Amino acid sequence: MKIINFNTHKSILNQFLSELRDVDIQKDSMRFRRNIERIGEIMAYEISKELLYGPKAIKTPLSTAIENVPAEQPVIATILRAGIPLHQGFLNYFDHAQNAFVSAYRKYTDEEHFDIHIEYIASPRLDGKTLILTDTMLATGASMEYAYEALLTKGQPAHIHIASVIASQQAAEHIRKVFPEDKTTLWCGTIDPELNEHAYIVPGLGDAGDLCYGEKE
């Protein structure tokens, strides 16, 4: 499995990431969501280079131009709710894409232990398509694994691109183990070294869903 860590190269993405982490700047929820969205746009552009293209004749006011355009449109899938701004960033660029949504959440059995529950799925058929799975934070990788298993009820995709703003090293290793090696690519804004006792990424940025949309009960 190929892993792309954007933070190993210097780019404007690092500025957006630094603002997401900053304990003062992240208090502005609109800016927080927009920075996630902008990272999604950057990732969408990079992933677009991996798609199949074909020539298309375009009539201009003066003549005809031949442009290489995507021969396929991906399916963009996200895990609610923290994944919504990242999904929107992808949709800003892949504006002809189909969309899928999975509701996955942590159900705690006590303060330190939880199970992942899938409540809802809405998706087109996925057979032979390029699937882009987005979630802002990839902590343990379990939510992504279960979301993918739920989506497989809609067919077998030809290739899977997993996109996350911040992943833990543990999650990256878990994804490598449970996703198809020959057709999965993991794209991360950065990979942080560890999880704390509550399975939050360290140094991370906190609870992305709460920072985007307010605290939940």
Segment 12-70, tens digit of pLDDT: 999 999 999 999 999 999 999 999 999 999 999 999 999 999 999 999 999 999 999 99
Least confident among 2-16, 50-64, 110-124 = 110-124
Question: For residue 63, what pLDDT is reported?
Answer: 98
Question: For residue 45, what pLDDT is reported?
Answer: 98
Give the other-Cβ count within 10 Å of 105's Cβ.
17
Residue 208 within a domain: no
State the average pLDDT over residues 79-99. Answer: 95
Residue 216 within a domain: no
Question: For residue 215, what pLDDT is reported?
Answer: 86
Residue 210 within a domain: no
Which tokens go with 110? Answer: 């006590």
Residue 65 within a domain: no
Residue 66 within a domain: no
Domain count, the chain: 1
Rounded to 5 degrees, φ, ψ at 30 are -65, -45
**For residues 72 and 94, is the Cβ–Cβ distance under 8 A?**
no
- pLDDT digits 0-9 by tens, 137-166: 999 999 899 899 999 999 999 999 999 999
Using CA atoms, how far residue 138 sits from 87, 128, 193, 202, 217, in Å, is 14, 25, 12, 12, 22
Q: Where is 54: in which H helix or E strand?
A: strand 53-59
Residue 209 within a domain: no
The domain that holds 194 is classified in CATH as: 3.40.50.2020
Provide Rg for the chain, Cα atoms. Answer: 18
pLDDT at 116 over 70: no
Residue 142 lies in domain: 2-51+71-202
**For residues 16 and 200, is the Cβ–Cβ distance under 8 A?**
no
Question: What percent of the chain lies above the pLDDT cut of 90?
Answer: 86
Residue 176 within a domain: yes
Question: For residue 216, what pLDDT is reported?
Answer: 77
What whole-number distance in Å separates Cα of residue 149 and Cα of residue 160?
12
- Which 3 state secondary structure label does DSSP give 122? strand
Residue 171 within a domain: yes
Helix then strand then coil, in percent of the chain rounded to 5, is 35, 35, 30
Among 38, 34, 28, 52, which Cα is nearest to 6's? 38
